[in-house]
Amino acid sequence: MLLTIVKPGEKPEAASIDFPTVVDLVQAFIDRTYKKSDTDPAPVKVDYQSDSHAIYYSKAELDKLFAANTGADGLRIYIGMHEHTVQQDKGMPKRLEKYIHQHTVVLVCTKNKADMLDPNQSVNVAMEEGEICPPPPCQTAVDGALKP
């Protein structure tokens, strides 16, 4: 569903929200998301200044993803986190330290709402290498409105 972002103070209709609500959704994610610490068994609250809360892909990158998945009619977004696990260390290229413990997404094309991934096939095309922010500092519309 396409969502219309309306000006603050305008009454949202069925498929619209106002910009302060967009900020509130991101703020709720930051306020309620905790991560496991490497040094402390207690969960640690994410920090909006250093933990990723947005990931950018260009239209060209998304067009390439759909072009590589003939017949795709949708997109599933898996939410994950980079860590130094045995599986991640052997199953993907080494990540820079700034990405460890950062949120990430894996974009998988779908057909009739089913993932177009076949674990028995040697090559499937999905996308993960988006530009997470922060780090580096984001230039998103919501950043100035978020609270620590």
Check residue 1 and give its pLDDT: 61
Cα dist. 137→83, 89, 132 in Å? 21, 26, 9
Answer yes or no: is 96 within a domain. yes
* pLDDT, tens only, 33-84: 887 777 777 888 877 777 777 888 889 989 999 998 899 999 998 888 888 8
Domain with 89 in it: 52-143
The least confident of 39-48, 55-64, 85-94, 139-148 is 139-148
103 found inside a domain: yes
Mean pLDDT of 95-99: 79
- Establish if 121 belongs to a structural domain: yes
Separation of first and last alpha carbons in the chain: 31
pLDDT given at position 148 = 64
In-domain check, residue 3: no
Q: Is residue 42 part of a domain?
A: no
Q: Considering its fold, how many domains does the chain have in total?
A: 1
Residue 90 lies in a domain: yes
